[in-house]
Amino acid sequence: MPRGKVRAWGPSVAVDASPVGARVSGCTVEFVPTRDTTSIVRVLEARAAEAVARARRFGRPVLASVTVPLEGEVDVAAATFASRRADERWFVWEQPDRDGFAIGALGAAVTVDAVPGRNRFAQAAQMCSDVFRDAVRGEDIDAPATGPIWVGGFSFYADGCSAPEWSSFTATGLALPHLSIARSGSATHATLNVMCREGDDPRRLAARAAGRLGALSTDPLPLVDPDPAGGYEIASVRPPEDFERAVDEGARLVRAGAVEKLVLAREVRVSAARPFNPGAVFGALRAAYPSCYCFCAGTPEAAFIGASPELLVRRAGSVLSTVALAGSTRRSADPAVDDHLGERLLHSGKDREEHAIVVDTIERSLAPLSVWVTPAEEPALVKVANIQHLATPVRAQLAQPRSVVDLVGALHPTSAVGGEPWAKAEPLVRELEQMDRGWYAAPVGWMDSFEDGEFCVALRCGLLAGRVAHCFAGGGVVGESQPDAELAETEVKLMALLPALTGS
């Protein structure tokens, strides 16, 4: 079978085995709500045996999984960073202000990372769905991201990740982990996944998987060293004047009617004497931006990390949510000045024009898929530690079932990070930026077995590769845009990440 090709597998069937009090081969297995590996092995072995039988019957691998509750307070991100292996993928997603919601994922039982071309989202959605068909798993638990899930992201461009620093990432990079942990409120669950093939030994598969859970580390996240030997060197990849010239040309193209809007970004590199520690950087971002989508997608060679304020899409059954986020200004420690800056942003003609374009493109993208699409009547201010944005929540009801990955494909890229219309804007953005965005400004998130989930737009982010951090920031360009103001906006946005890298 060619790499990246997965056939439809038929209807999904679950054995009579639930996470607690699971019934296996006529006897009841009592799960203790902790990492009781003996009980876990017995249930997972039974499910793996059934999956092996189905794999033999269908001639293809079949997923077996088990979900168990974990005792006590679990720092999901810390456990993931401390337990990751040097040779595997890993993923962390957390929004602390949202009832402590967090996901951690270790390893990859299955990957979807070889889908080429512009139809990659639909192909990836189908491939993910195919893996869940015929899966052998227990009863569903009513908690977000519990059970087998897909985690990861996509490149901004369909042909992205061509630059050397992005070599360990792919244009489509989703993984079903060996082990995932999900926390919501006071409840934490772990899910073990094994892909079973004809001839596999169910006992060995189950024991190996359960051993991974038993080996989870509880070490806390490390801290960023504020005064490392050798210090840091920060440099713009292209001269700032080049970015200003690109903005000036972009604004001219908008005034000439070539496009309605362009979004242009720049890259700044931070070099250190020692390799960056992704766990320390994540901890700093989580503490500074508890309302944001704090994420880290890691490979053996690099880690893509950030704290994004922008939701691309969240699906819960037939209802989807997204947010139009465009138009920004700085914060101030003086409450009166901060309020004044926010009011000025709310009444800025340039920013309101840029924002309205984003709301309109989201509505037009969702209209063909929905019974109704409802944006808020007026934008509101969203304030994070160092910046405030114009934001308009948008909700819609789907006309037909579509997975969250399908919806990602319908919305990406919004004009908040690309341009309008995108077909005309794309070649202009590529020419003016002259860089490979990789996963910057692209979708990052997760999807569960119901095809619900959420993806953010990867902003306020950077790629950590050894001793070098590649940091990205951009801004929307319309006819009234001023090059110096747009450059200053990118500096404000870069300051969301730079302190987390340097401890300053």
Residues with catalytic function: 261, 310
Q: Give the Cα separation of 136 and 131 in Å (integer).
A: 11
- Residue 333: burial class (beta carbons within 10 Å; 0-12, 13-18, 19+): exposed
Closest Cα to residue 255, out of 490, 481, 489?
A: 481
Query: How many Å apart are CA 69 and CA 49, to the nearest integer?
Result: 23
Residue 86 · residue 144 · CB < 8 Å: no
Q: What span, in angstroms and rounded, lies between the C-alpha atoms of 447 and 438?
A: 21
Please state, in angstroms and rounded to a whole number, the distance separating the CA atoms of residues 329 and 331: 7
* DSSP-derived 3-state class of residue 416: coil
Give the integer Cα–Cα distance in Å for 356 and 193.
Answer: 44
CA distance 404 to 316: 9
Tokens, residue 499: 């302190």
User: What distance in Å separates the CA atoms of residue 495 and residue 379, rounded to the nearest whole number?
Assistant: 24
Q: Is the four-CA dihedral 154, 330, 102, 77 of positive or negative sign?
A: positive
Q: Is 87 exposed, middle or buried (0-12, 13-18, 19+ CB in 10 A)?
A: exposed
Angle between helices 76-83 and 278-288 (to 10 degrees): 170
How do beta strands 179-184 and 187-196 pair? antiparallel
Q: Which DSSP string do the residues of 312-380 spell out, in sequence order?
A: EEEEETTEEEEEEEEEEEE--SSHHHHHHHHHHHHT-HHHHHHHHHHHHHHHHHHGGGEEEEEE-SS-E
Q: Which residues contact 305 (CB under 8 A, 6 or more apart)?
A: 278, 281, 282, 285, 295, 296, 297, 461, 462, 463, 464
Among 45, 88, 90, residue whose Cα is nearest residue 66 = 45
